[in-house]
């Protein structure tokens, strides 16, 4: 499994600078994108006739005598077959038609007729959402074809262009029904004086939060309280997370801060078993420097031992609860388990909305109350209730993405085109931009996101200004300028958006998706940037070779 090792310093410098987990290729218009799992549709294939018809019309457009087919307003167009603009628009339209064809074929292949020939209300809503996606896409093709004859929002003959992107009579970007009542959960009931020390060392904060969530699952399975690592060994979690929120949700003391634990142990504790989930590339994914840090904190330990001799972070094998109980179960008071960020344990169970542990809240791991309230104040000040959030990852991403097949690094014009289509589909007036990109890139991106002659503003969090009060809470509590706090604030704003467009392969994006799923804010329109498209240019693939 590939990971973005170039991210190691990103969280200290930028807001959207996280280690990356591998993803498979994505489909833009596929009815079941990987970002959201939805049941296959009960769908009569006769519906597809309405979708295929626009393609036939455009093909006739290119092959037939236009004058003989259209005798009304369109016949007054002055076509110039050698016009550069016309040729360019036709080539763009053909490219879009090819994408639409792939999407329609995928939709065809993912549909079936139910045995009772009936379509449920939910399935019918999904069909309508898929149809609207294709209608919007077809409208984009029409505008591309007509662009050489367009002035503002009218054609050269004065005919107005339809600009209503939300007039189809239903919402295409409705919230996803997460079916929280159907969750499969496990009770977390720690035994007295039985603890698990979490070890999370892979990557930056987003990776550590994923690791911490998996450690909580392990602790629940093993009936142990989880000890949150010291800030001298790991991140200072209490600045970004509400630790007591976790205990309140569980209804008992399940999570213990390191300082509190060491006070209970009179400032010295011994790890009776230090078990490595992974044996390669090095046991427990821990180096000598971190082992010395543990000892400096008053921790002594037994020799590291591997649960599985051949378990490698690059190719983790699926494990079950039974495997965890067999390999990590113990009567010892304190055990430690090496980094489990890459662990593949009960994937569907762990990744379900709300997580695998029984609790009374929406999610266990969420931003602190100060960060939550600050995010709400920012949204009220700058964005309002209807906005798209875009995680536009660039720093260190070119090399990382180009090592993947297909690449996930898109030229600015192509990215702008994808974002503009989403703005039209979601019918939102503003975009929140979470990015580490240079001003030269964001400036060009802003200039190219134009819909119906109107520029769609990209909003970033501004530098602190004493005249603005939305971030006063962070300032008063000494959290201003903390890069981890600012990154979590960015995630929180994105998690509250109407629609979210993420960076494929980024754990920063994945943590936002987790929050949206758990909070119930996930939308049917959530997707990765240019999902389903390949970059139209990839460095190193041309005819030129460096010597």
Q: Which of the residue ranges 279-293, 365-379, 433-447, 507-521 would you say has the lowest mean pLDDT?
A: 279-293
3-state secondary structure of 479: coil
Residue-level pLDDT at 91 = 75
* pLDDT digit string, tens, across residues 100-157: 777 776 666 655 444 445 555 455 556 656 666 676 667 667 766 766 665 544 444 4
Residue-level pLDDT at 100 = 72
Alpha-carbon distance 472 to 377, whole Å? 10
Residue-level pLDDT at 106 = 65
- Helices 321-328, 205-222: axis angle to 10 degrees equals 80
Answer left, alpha or beta for residue 477, where phi above 0 means left and psi between -120 and 50 means alpha: alpha
Alpha-carbon distance 113 to 109, whole Å? 12
Q: What is the mean pLDDT of residues 302-323?
A: 93
* pLDDT digit string, tens, across residues 91-102: 777 777 777 777
Q: Where are the alpha helices (DSSP H) in 227-309?
A: 243-250, 258-264, 288-296
391 contacts 398 by C-beta, under 8 angstroms: no
DSSP E strands, 33-73: 41-42
Closest CA relative to residue 412, chosen from 395, 392, 391: 392
Q: Which of the residue ranges 74-88, 211-225, 318-332 would you say has the lowest mean pLDDT?
A: 74-88
Residue-level pLDDT at 78 = 45
% pLDDT > 70, the chain: 71
Comparing 246 with 75, the larger pLDDT belongs to 246
359 contacts 401 by C-beta, under 8 angstroms: no
- Which run of H or of E encompasses 185? none
For residue 515, pLDDT over 50 is answered with: yes
Q: What is the mean pLDDT of residues 342-361?
A: 94
301 contacts 294 by C-beta, under 8 angstroms: yes
- Which run of H or of E encompasses 497? none
Answer left, alpha or beta for residue 298, where phi above 0 means left and psi between -120 and 50 means alpha: left
Residue-level pLDDT at 315 = 92
* pLDDT digit string, tens, across residues 1-39: 444 434 434 444 443 333 444 333 333 333 333 444 444
- Which run of H or of E encompasses 337? strand 334-337
Residue-level pLDDT at 358 = 96
DSSP state of 5: G
Buried residues in 3-30 as b, exposed as e (16+ CB within 10 A)? bbebbeebbeebbbbbbbbebeebbbbb
For residue 520, pLDDT over 90 is answered with: yes
Q: What is the mean pLDDT of residues 276-303?
A: 91
Q: What is the mean pLDDT of residues 293-313?
A: 93
* pLDDT digit string, tens, across residues 425-452: 999 999 999 999 999 999 999 999 999 9
3-state secondary structure of 532: coil
Q: β-strand 269-271 against 255-257: which pairing, if any?
A: unpaired
Highest averaged pLDDT of the listed ranges 20-24, 34-38, 57-61, 289-293: 289-293
Beta carbons within 10 angstroms of residue 108's beta carbon: 14
Residue-level pLDDT at 461 = 94
């Amino acid at each position: 499994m590939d990971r973005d090792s170039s991210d190691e310093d990103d969280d200290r410098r930028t807001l959207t600078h996280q280690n990356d987990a591998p993803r498979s290729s994505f489909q833009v218009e596929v009815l079941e994108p990987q970002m959201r799992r939805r049941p296959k549709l009960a769908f009569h294939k006769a519906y597809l006739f309405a979708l295929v018809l626009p393609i036939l019309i455009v093909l006739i457009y290119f092959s037939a005598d236009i004058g003989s087919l259209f005798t009304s307003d369109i016949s007054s167009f002055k076509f110039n077959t050698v016009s550069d603009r016309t040729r360019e628009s036709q080539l763009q339209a053909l490219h879009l038609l090819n994408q639409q064809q792939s999407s329609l074929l995928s939709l065809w292949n993912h549909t079936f007729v139910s045995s009772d020939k009936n379509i449920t209300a939910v399935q019918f809503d999904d069909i309508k959402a898929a149809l609207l996606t294709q209608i919007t896409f077809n409208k984009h093709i029409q505008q591309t074809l007509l662009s050489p004859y367009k002035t503002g929002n009218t054609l050269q003959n004065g005919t107005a262009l339809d600009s209503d992107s939300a007039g189809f009579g239903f919402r295409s970007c409705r919230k996803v029904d997460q079916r929280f009542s159907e969750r499969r959960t496990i009770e977390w009931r720690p035994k007295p004086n039985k603890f698990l020390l979490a070890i999370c060392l892979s990557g930056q904060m987003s990776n550590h939060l994923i690791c911490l969530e998996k450690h909580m699952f392990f602790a629940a399975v093993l009936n142990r309280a989880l000890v949150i690592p010291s800030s001298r060994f790991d991140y200072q979690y209490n600045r970004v997370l509400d630790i007591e929120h976790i205990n309140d949700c569980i209804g008992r003391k399940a999570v213990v801060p390191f300082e509190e634990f060491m006070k209970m142990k009179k400032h010295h504790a011994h790890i009776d078993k230090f078990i490595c989930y992974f044996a390669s590339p090095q046991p427990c994914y821990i180096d000598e420097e971190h082992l010395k840090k543990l000892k400096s904190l008053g921790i002594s330990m037994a020799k590291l031992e591997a649960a599985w001799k051949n378990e490698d972070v690059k190719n983790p094998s699926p494990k079950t609860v039974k495997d965890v109980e067999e390999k990590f179960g113990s009567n010892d008071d304190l055990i430690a388990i090496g980094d489990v960020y890459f662990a593949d344990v009960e994937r569907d169970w762990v990744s379900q909305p709300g997580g695998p542990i029984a609790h009374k809240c929406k999610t266990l791991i969420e931003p602190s109350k100060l960060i939550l309230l600050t995010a709400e104040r920012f949204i009220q000040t700058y964005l309002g209730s209807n906005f798209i959030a875009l995680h536009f990852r660039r720093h260190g991403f070119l090399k990382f993405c180009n090592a993947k097949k297909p690449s996930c690094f898109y030229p600015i014009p192509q990215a702008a085109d994808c974002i503009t289509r989403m703005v039209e589909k979601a019918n939102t007036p503003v975009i929140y931009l979470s990015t580490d990109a240079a001003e030269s890139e964001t400036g060009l991106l802003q200039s190219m996101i134009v819909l119906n002659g109107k520029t769609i503003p990209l909003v970033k969090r501004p530098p602190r200004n004493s005249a603005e009060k939305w971030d006063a809470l962070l300032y008063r509590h000494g959290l201003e300028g903390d890069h981890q706090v600012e990154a979590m604030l960015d995630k929180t704003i994105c998690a509250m958006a109407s629609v979210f467009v993420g960076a494929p392969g980024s754990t920063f994006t994945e943590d936002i998706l987790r929050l949206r799923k758990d909070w119930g804010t996930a939308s049917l329109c959530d997707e990765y940037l240019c999902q389903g498209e390949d970059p139209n240019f990839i460095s190193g693939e041309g005819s030129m070779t460096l010597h």
